[in-house]
């Protein structure tokens, strides 16, 4: 019996099947009769005419927008099938990017973290619109980045793969946040290739394509008009703030989500960081550094109600009076003590970067994983320049979450090299239990 269970767990396709089955139940409960789904269905019946209207008035439409407008018109089951395939594509892409022969259970870790992602955010403005704006570009963008993994591994790439990578790139670039991640990744890596005197023409093509899309997003009249309209609606004081203060607001809002919103996804990531450092080092200093993100998450997040009675002054310093992580806004950014939340945020981010350095040491992989985390964090910091920095909710965190996911899987792979298979299974067991609980909560509230 044990042999059959082991064989079942190690089967290449079982993780995908489990993920597919889990999300089939979620999609059965989805509806598209509210929010932006209804609005788009009623106002954008003419797809190509709507593309021009959106470009002039509201956004920078792309291939992803075409897909979005057609899916809104068609029966819901077509979107649900497409969305399921896109979720599987995201899992496949991350597995390919983080592929490591020494890690037997890497695929399961990817699946568990995807199930930990707060998918309800994809339904905040309507399942079809929100998913096609955020998750579709994310998934296709991740697939396009497999090309860089193949370069890293020295794998041969056939013509069909080149075509699929470029198509996926165009889909991924339809979202400005994903566009910035892809542009940043290709720019940094092409500079690295140039220094190493290695020229990859296709990589340069991808870089140029990303730059063109970035310019397109930045100059589209629709985006400019939308920013003005949303400033009036969501953040009337936004234009009164300096760039520095806008960045402060976005930084504290980002850390507030990661630390104080009972964020199980981030908590699991911090636990893997601790394991990664503890497996390699006995030095107290290194271990203490790795504990900082976890302790911050427990102190100011999961345990804030408990610790507020034990160390009320410390909790109060990081609390805005609403039981949330203190965020800098237009009403309090002049108060000096409020900047303790920024200092804490810098310490947390710094400890994550230091821990990644300690885990992967002075290697090229370490630089790549640091880059992945920083690009993900930067994708959220782009919201510094948007009046919807608060109103957009967690859905704009998706690119940061999935960059953390990729980093977490790389860390798990490294841990797997330093511990026994039984301990790997224990990590998977606890991870699976947490993922299952999170999934059941999602299934109930969808």
Model pLDDT for residues 345-393, shown as the tens digit of each residue = 899 999 999 999 999 998 889 999 999 999 999 999 999 999 988 888 7
Q: What is the pLDDT of residues 75-88, one digit of tens each?
A: 999 999 999 999 99
Mean of the per-residue pLDDT values for the chain? 89
Name, in order, each residue with C-beta under 8 angstroms of 287's C-beta and a sequence gap of 6 or more: 274, 277, 278, 281
Yes or no: say if 328 and 342 are a contact pair by the CB < 8 Å rule. Answer: yes
Average pLDDT score over residue span 170-178: 96
pTM over the 0.85 mark: yes
pLDDT at residue number 316: 63
217: pLDDT strictly greater than 80 = yes
For residue 240, pLDDT beyond 60: yes
* Residue 321 scores a pLDDT above 50: no
Q: Is the pLDDT of residue 9 over 90?
A: no
Report whether pLDDT(291) > 90.
Answer: yes
Q: How far apart are CA 96 and CA 384, in angstroms?
A: 32
Predicted pLDDT at 342: 83
Per-residue 3-state assignment (H helix, E strand, C coil) for the chain: CHHHHHHHHHCCCHHHHHHHHHHHHHHHHCCCCCHHHHHHHHHCCCHHHHHHHHHHHCCCCCHHHHHHHHHHHCCHHHHHHHHHHHHHHHHHHHHHHCCCCCCCCHHHHHHHHHHHCCHHHHHCCCHHHHHHHHHHHHHHHHHHCHHHHHHHHCCCCCHHHHHHHHHHHHHHCCCHHHHHHHHHHHHHHHHHHHHCCCCCHHHHHHHHHHHHHHHHHHHCHHHHHHHHHHHHHHCCCHHHCCHHHHHHHHHHHHHHHHHHCCCHHHHHHHHHHHHHHHCCCCCHHHHHHHHHHHHHHHHHHHCHHHHHHHCHHHHHHCECCCCCECCCCCCCCCCHHHHHHHHHHHHHHHHHHHHHHHHHCCCHHHHHHHHHHHHHHHHHHHHHHCCCCCCCHHHHHHHHHHHHHHHHHHHHHHHHHHCCHHHHHHHHHHHHHHHHHHHHHHHHHC
pLDDT(132) > 90: yes
* Residues 37-50, mean pLDDT to the nearest whole number: 90
Q: What is the mean pLDDT of residues 173-198?
A: 94
């Amino acid at each position: 019996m044990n042999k059959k269970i082991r064989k079942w767990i190690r089967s290449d396709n079982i993780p995908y099947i489990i993920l597919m089955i889990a999300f089939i139940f979620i999609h059965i409960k989805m509806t598209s009769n509210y929010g932006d789904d209804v609005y788009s269905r009623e106002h954008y019946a003419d797809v190509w005419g709507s593309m021009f209207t959106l470009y002039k008035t509201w956004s920078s439409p792309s291939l992803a927008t075409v897909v979005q407008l057609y899916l809104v018109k068609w029966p819901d089951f077509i979107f649900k099938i497409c969305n399921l395939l896109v979720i599987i594509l995201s899992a496949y892409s991350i597995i390919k990017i983080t592929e490591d022969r020494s890690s037997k259970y890497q695929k399961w870790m990817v699946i568990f973290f995807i199930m930990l992602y707060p998918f309800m955010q994809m339904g905040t403005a309507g399942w079809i619109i929100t998913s096609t704006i955020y998750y579709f570009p994310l998934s296709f963008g991740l697939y396009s980045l497999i090309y860089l993994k193949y370069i890293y591994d020295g794998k041969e790439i056939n013509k069909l793969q080149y075509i699929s990578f470029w198509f996926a790139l165009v889909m991924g670039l339809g979202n400005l946040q994903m566009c910035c991640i892809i542009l940043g990744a290709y720019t940094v890596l092409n500079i690295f290739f140039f220094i190493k005197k290695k020229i990859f023409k296709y990589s340069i093509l991808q870089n140029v394509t990303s730059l063109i899309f970035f310019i397109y997003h930045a100059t589209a009249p629709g985006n400019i008009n939308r920013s003005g309209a949303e400033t009036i609606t969501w953040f009337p004081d936004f234009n009164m703030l300096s760039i520095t203060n806008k960045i402060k607001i976005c930084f504290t809002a980002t850390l507030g989500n990661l630390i104080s919103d009972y964020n199980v996804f981030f908590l699991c990531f911090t636990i893997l960081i601790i394991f990664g450092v503890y497996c390699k080092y006995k030095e107290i200093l290194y271990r203490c550094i790795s504990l900082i993100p976890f302790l911050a998450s427990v102190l100011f997040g999961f345990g804030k109600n408990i610790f507020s009675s034990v160390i009320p002054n410390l909790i109060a310093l990081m609390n805005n009076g609403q039981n949330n992580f203190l965020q800098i806004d237009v009403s309090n950014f002049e108060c000096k003590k409020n900047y303790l939340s920024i200092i804490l945020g810098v310490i947390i981010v710094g400890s994550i970067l230091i821990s990644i350095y300690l885990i992967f040491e002075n290697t090229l992989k370490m630089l790549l994983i640091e880059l992945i985390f920083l690009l993900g964090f930067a994708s959220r910091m782009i919201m510094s320049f948007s009046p919807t920095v608060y109103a957009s909710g967690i859905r704009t965190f998706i690119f940061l979450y999935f960059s953390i996911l990729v980093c977490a899987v790389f860390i798990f792979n490294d841990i797997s090299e330093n511990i026994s298979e039984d301990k790997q299974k224990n990590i998977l067991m606890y991870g699976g239990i947490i993922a299952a609980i999170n999934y059941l909560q999602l299934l109930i509230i969808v």
